Structure 1
Amino acid sequence: MRIVIDRDQCVGFGDCVKEAPEGFKLDEETVAVFVAPEAVERERLLRACDACPVDAITVWDLEGRQLVPSLT
């Protein structure tokens, strides 16, 4: 799984942090960053990424299919 946070798009709502605080935090610029995403169970990590209201977090599976935000 590949996860990318678009720092220009993130506005610091912190929904990812609320869903998985052990995996994400807001940095000094109030932008989401990874702390330890490997410490979060996969489904919960996907929910945390999907919680972003501005779709600043994109997730792809190992085959390159986009999982978050959903394309459907």
Structure 2
Amino acid sequence: MGDRWRVEVDRGVCIAAGMCVGTAPEAFRLDGARQSHPVAEVTDASEDILAAAESCPVEAISIRLTESDEAVFPPDD
């Protein structure tokens, strides 16, 4: 079985650039204020979701492994 991720968007940081929706439209949506939110809080690991988090200009997207709570992005230093 593959990894499961908990995906969160810090709406206090999100600037509504929309890069996440452009990169992973199946995983992110913009609301009426044009801020991002994940379609599902918990999802299967996905290269598209990771690419969306990495492309966010303000790093508003965080991804953690659901089983261990280990950071996937941004990585813990």
- Shorter-normalised TM-score: what interval? 0.7 to 0.9
1:23–1:37 Cα change, 3 Å: farther
Give the 3-state SS of the residue equivalent to 1:30 in structure 2.
Answer: coil
Unaligned runs of 5+ in 1: none
- 2:8–2:37 Cα contact (<8 Å) kept: no
Q: How does 1:10-29 map to 2 (within 5 A)?
A: 10-29=14-33
Identity %: 33
Query: In the alignment, what sits opposite 1:64?
Result: 69
Q: Which structure's residues are more often strand, by fraction?
A: 2
Unaligned runs of 5+ in 2: none
1:45 equivalent to 2:42? Answer no
Length-normalised TM-score, structure 2: 0.76
Q: Which structure's residues are more often helix, by fraction?
A: 1
- Number of residue pairs aligned between Structure 1 and Structure 2: 72
RMSD, aligned α-carbons: 2.3
Instruction: Output one character per residue of 1:16-44: Cα deviation in whole Å (capped at 9) or x when no partner.
Output: 00101122121111100123577886111
Query: In the alignment, what sits opposite 1:3?
Result: 7
